[in-house]
Structure 1
Amino acid sequence: MSRRRVLKLAGAASVALGLTVVAGEYGFREANAEPPRARQSPAAKATPKPPPRIASWAAAPLPPEEGTLSATGLHDAQLRMVVRPTIGGTHPRIRISNRYGTAPLQIAGAWIAPRAQGPDEKPGTRVVVTFGGSRSVVLQPGQDLVSDAVALSSPVAARTALLVSLTVSGSTGPVTWHPRSRDVSYLLDGPTRPTRAAGSAARARQRWTGFTGWYWLSGLDLLSDRAAGTVVCFGDSITDGPSTAAKRTTVRWPDLLAERIAVERPRAPYGVVDLGIAGNRLLQSAPRGGVAALDRFDQDALGQPGATDLILLEGINDIGFGRDTDGLPITAEQLITAQRTLIGRARRSGLRVHGCTLLPFEGAKFFTPVGEQVRQQFNAWVRNGGAFDSVVDFERAVLDPEVPTRIAVPYDSGDHLHPSDAGAAMLAGAVDLTALAALHR
């Protein structure tokens, strides 16, 4: 049939139906119907996903400690605290905690800037931090709060020293803090006093007082389009690292692990956060060891943005100091039960769990032959129990081959319990990077 004949028949049919027919290149459609949607390529349909938010630095909050500034609190003070992100990115946020405070915490101002040196910011880089759009905020006792994201003038590079500054108004009461800061922090307390030093920068430097600890500051996360996730290192003083020395930066194995990941996995690095607490135990809270791991785990470890992996090192303080309700030493079975509980919680949150053997400790102040037997029983379970996604064999990384119950001299800090700088490097090197979550999705 000719095209003209087809058009004529179609027009006649449209009169009967009350439709207008429009001829197209490939057929006909109703003019008062919706035109066919243009085909879109898969790339046009897909909405680009924003970069994931990754925890890049963290410190586990602790109650105030008698005999320190954390117990007495501050009044009308300004603090500058050094944070070193373990992965680079943009739009950082900070986490503030008044978890163990007894009074409302009034933050009158907060800002972030790259550090020049000491308490000095790089000129012209300061960015104000807001909370729900406001420059000031009040945290009630027990409250944690995440700030709004801020846009710095340039992306944050991994391991850059950032200064996070807080100005607090009125009397704070006891401080929620983390005592073992990696770097010296700085305090400007009370009204400023005149000085003869020339220049505002010189005057400011004279007024700052160095101190140890991160006050109220418990986390920093950022956006990263390259990150594979966040590794949460959860443990006691071996993870927390030594106390800050006045003239040197402390060495902690989680920081060395972050540096190793950056070198070996530059295209898909991980944020690494240190949630260690000196003196922490699995089963029981302690005056200087914080809340028991079983009780702080969800809030400290599982709340980290972008968390994909957990490295779990806990138990040596339970062996050395812990007692059950009958006053008897803690057993390996009790430690194993507690760790199984943490493993289950982590897995329900989608994390891969990497279990650590406990380091040798003969010669430490709380060493006993009974405790050594418990340690060996626990380590045998870590290696052979099949409970973990991978085993991080810290014991074998640092033991003395001739006296396996001791840390080898080069890796011993001197107290026969904590690793030296060389020992911390051995611990960081013992983690199997191929076991991390990115390769198992």
Structure 2
Amino acid sequence: MRWQGAAAAAICLGFLGAPAPAQDAGRTAGRVRHWSTAWTGSVQGPYPIGNPSAQPDQSFAFPDPAAGSRDQTLRLVLRPDVWGREARLRISNAFGTRVLTLDGVHAGLQLGGAALVPGTNRPVLFGGRDRVTVPPGGEVWSDPVALPFAADPDAPLLAGRKLAVSLHVVGSSGPMTWHAKALQTSYVTAPDAGAHGADEGEAAFPFSTASWFFVDAVDMAMNDPAVSAPTPVVVAFGDSITDGTASTMNGDDRWPDVLSRRLHAQFGNRVAVVNAGIGGNQVVGPASYGPQAPFPGGPSALSRLDRDVIGLSGVASVIWLEGINDFSRNGEATLQAVQAGMREGVARLRAGIPGVRVIGATLPSAKGSSSPAHGHPEQDEKRRGLNAFIRDSGVFDGVVDFDAATLDPATGGLRPEMVPESTTGGKGDRLHPNRAGYLAMGSGIDLGVVLTRR
């Protein structure tokens, strides 16, 4: 059964409990504006340090990584999980070493490639100005921007459509804050090409990238007087298995995407799932992180909780899948350290987001992995120990058993049909599930675990 409008909102909010208050709630034309995060691309470090998938040659778009982007426009393609009549963008310079200056920022509906649906492109302002400067380590939210094409956010043909966010880098950005593994094609002009964010055509954007830069969150506001609270947001928090390694390029078939479609089939445009995974991420490592000492897996989960979960709008539930990298040759953490990190993380989430529901996800097997850092017996022993902790410790409000959904009892590794990777058709690494594996993971989640009251 499918519910629409205010009834759907009431049902969602009744299941999920009171979400965290949305940031900067305001009024528009006498109506309350409730923000909910509709998309995230967790920033992880300065380009090119990271783990992208199916990345085209970036040397033509960004010939000097230290200089970063130089007087050029990036058109970033992303898929909001819900739509609203207004949007706002969060711009991050978290791992930059210079002041980042942007102008000519626009947001429009993608038509195909770098082309936009004519008439949908809208300028985005910051404090009423068309230029913004972000200091090293800083971030800034844009002003609300009206999206006339989303005047009816519940329109079925709007679901799954993608937003194109264009931004012009003034001068040279220096090291670029980025999310390496977008598994989504975006577009870039040549260096020194100038501002082309207002263009609705694709001619100015010859180069492609499989990563996102600078933009790390998009909020939507319904501005609907019948909806008395923010749309509840479910955050998928974790490493490459949440980020989507080995899933289909531009296919939106990571396990959070599968969960999203199941929730939307039941509740329509009244619940959002956002992906806060980073390929290579660890719960407790590395001990320190910064632009001068980056790590491909980004900062630890504990050090990024505030930015990537607590700082989002409308968060009601968090599904945490992480730990396999802590136990790899790149981490070598003890089981006790990761258990303590998860206890600390859950406590901080509950303190930062009153009423949040925190769900633990068991780790799929990496046994037999072709990766030199994974697949060794000590890793699997710790993995099974962490899974027992997630299932039995009582730390979490619920459990999602991804291990059971992907395990081949005959080998102790991933099921054989889940091994060949789907991004480029490679043989797979026996660490990351493919499309079949992510489909099983997302399909096996009991929605009652995600939606039941604490």
Query: Which TM-score tier does this pair reach, normalised by the shorter chain?
Result: 0.7 to 0.9
Match of 2:434 among 420, 424, 433: 420
Highest CA radius of gyration, 1 or 2?
1
- CA distance, structure 1, for counterparts of residue 73 and residue 359 of structure 2: 40
Match of 1:210 among 208, 211, 221: 208
**CA contact under 8 A between 1:284 and 1:322: conserved in structure 2?**
no
* Counterpart mapping for 1:115-264 below 5 A: 115-155=110-150, 156=153, 157-192=158-193, 204-205=202-203, 207-224=205-222, 228-242=231-245, 248-249=250-251, 251-264=253-266
**CA contact under 8 A between 2:247 and 2:438: conserved in structure 1?**
no
Match of 1:338 among 329, 341, 350: 341
Q: Helix, strand or coil: the match of 1:318?
A: coil
Match of 2:93 among 79, 84, 98: 98
Q: Helix, strand or coil: the match of 1:254?
A: helix
TM normalised by structure 2 equals 0.78
1:265 CA displacement: 2.6
| Alignment match, 2:453 | 440
Q: Helix, strand or coil: the match of 2:169?
A: strand
Which 5+ residue runs of structure 1 have no aligned equivalent?
Answer: 1-47, 194-199, 324-328
The one-letter amino acid of 2:325's match is: N
The one-letter amino acid of 2:364's match is: L
**Is residue 429 from structure 1 mapped to residue 434 from structure 2 by the alignment?**
no
Q: Helix, strand or coil: the match of 2:72?
A: strand
* Counterpart mapping for 1:60-79 below 5 A: 60-66=42-48, 69=62, 70-79=65-74
Q: Helix, strand or coil: the match of 1:363?
A: coil
1:78-120 Cα distance to aligned partner (Å, 9 max, x none)? 1101010111222011110001111111112101110111101
- CA distance, structure 2, for counterparts of residue 189 and residue 243 of structure 1: 29
| Alignment match, 1:112 | 107
1:370 CA displacement: 1.7
- CA distance, structure 2, for counterparts of residue 82 and residue 335 of structure 1: 35
The one-letter amino acid of 1:378's match is: L
1:378-398 Cα distance to aligned partner (Å, 9 max, x none)? 111111111111100000001
- Asked which structure has the greater RCO (Cα within 8 Å, sep 6+), the reply is 2
- CA distance, structure 2, for counterparts of residue 433 and residue 381 of structure 1: 22
TM normalised by structure 1 equals 0.81
**CA contact under 8 A between 1:181 and 1:243: conserved in structure 2?**
no
- CA distance, structure 1, for counterparts of residue 335 and residue 348 of structure 2: 20
- CA distance, structure 2, for counterparts of residue 409 and residue 244 of structure 1: 15
The one-letter amino acid of 1:182's match is: L
1:201 CA displacement: 7.5
1:320-343 Cα distance to aligned partner (Å, 9 max, x none)? 1355xxxxx422221111100111
**CA contact under 8 A between 1:233 and 1:254: conserved in structure 2?**
yes
- CA distance, structure 2, for counterparts of residue 49 and residue 167 of structure 1: 33
Which 5+ residue runs of structure 2 have no aligned equivalent?
Answer: 1-29, 50-57, 287-293, 422-427
1:205 CA displacement: 2.2
**CA contact under 8 A between 2:186 and 2:209: conserved in structure 1?**
yes
Q: Helix, strand or coil: the match of 1:440?
A: coil
| Alignment match, 1:379 | 387
